[in-house]
Amino acid sequence: MRNLNKSYLNSSKTVFLSKEMLYVSFMMLLFVGCGDTHKTASTLDINKDHIYIAAHRGGYENEYEDRAPENSLANIQNAIDHGFPIYESDVQRTSDGVFIIMHDATIDRTTNGSGVVAEMSGEEIQEYHLIYRTGEDSNEKIPLLDEFISKGDGKIIFKIDYKPELRYLDELLQQIKELKLQDRVILRFRYRKEIVEALENYDSDDRPLILFRLTTLSQFEELKSTFNPKMISIFTGSNSAFSEEQMQIIKLASKENIIIEAHAFHDNNDDREEYWAEQLKLPITIFHTRKPLLFQEFLKTRKGSTSH
C-alpha cells in the first residue's frame, strides 16, 4: 500500500510538473512571439512623420568590399543588413517580354557583356554576370524582376523608376499583381498627363503606390485634381537647391498630408551635410541618396531626427 501511495504521489508529481512545464513552455512561446518586432515592410506603413532613406540602386559605396554590385540580389541583402527601408532600382524589358533589373538601356556598363536589353532575350541576358565598378566580375547574375522583389521577403520596399513609361505598363502591373507585391513596390514616373490617364483605368488595389516626379506647380495642381496622389517626388539637380516654385509645392503637399520624396543629392560635395541639414528642415519624408551609408550616419548625429 505504501509503495502504491508512493507510486501515486510520484505519478501525481510527474503530472503536475508536466503541466507546469507545458505552461512555462506556452508562456515562453507566447513571449517570444510577442517579442518578435520584425514587421513586414509595406508602403501602407510609410509614416509621414518619419524619415526614410531610399538607397540609390541599393547603395554601392562599398560594393566591392561587400561583394554586392548595384542592382544585384546580393545588394538587396546588403541594403536590408544596413537597415535601409527603401531600395531604388530601374526596370528594363527584354525582347521576349522578361522584366529585368537594370539601370541602363544596355548591359555594357554593369556586366561582362554588351548589348541593348530590348534586343536581347531573357535567356541571353542570364548568360552574363554583373561587374563591380573596378571592372572585376562578380558572381551575381542580372536579376529578374520577380526574383528581385521576392528577395526582399517583406523586409524592404522597392522604389522602381519605370523609364519605359506607357510601354509595357499593362504587363508590368499585371506581373506585380500576380506576385501579390503591390504593397511592397513604389512605381515612379515623370509626370505626364497620358500616364495619369492610363493609371486611372486601374483599380487602386491592382497597382502599387504611384509616385510622380513633379517640376512645376501646375503639374501638382493637375495631379491633385485628377489622381488624388498619396506621394510626390521633388527633383533638383545635383548641386541645386529647391526653387521657389518647388518650395511652394512642398508646402502645399505637406498641408494635404501627401508624402514628399526628394533627392538628397550634393552627395559628392564637401559641404553635403550643410545641404542635407537644410533639407531636413522641410517636411520631406523620403530622402533618395547615392550615399545611403553617409546619410544614415548623418541622421544619427541629428537630434530630433526620427529615421527608419
Catalytic (active site) residue 308? no
- Measured from the Cβ of residue 160, the count of other Cβ atoms closer than 10 Å reads 24
Determine which one of 50, 82, 103, 308 is catalytic: 103
Collapse the DSSP code of 272 into the 3-class scheme (helix H, G, I; strand E, B; otherwise coil) and give the result. helix
Listed in sequence order, the DSSP H helices in the chain are 2-35, 63-66, 73-82, 122-125, 145-151, 169-178, 193-199, 217-226, 244-255, 272-280, 292-300
Q: Is the sign of the CA dihedral 116, 117, 118, 121 positive or negative?
A: positive
Grid coordinates given for 295: 546619410
3-state class (DSSP) for residue 262: strand
CA distance 267 to 276: 9
Among 56, 263, 266, 288, the one annotated catalytic = 56
Q: Does residue 56 carry a catalytic annotation?
A: yes
Residues tagged active-site: 56, 103
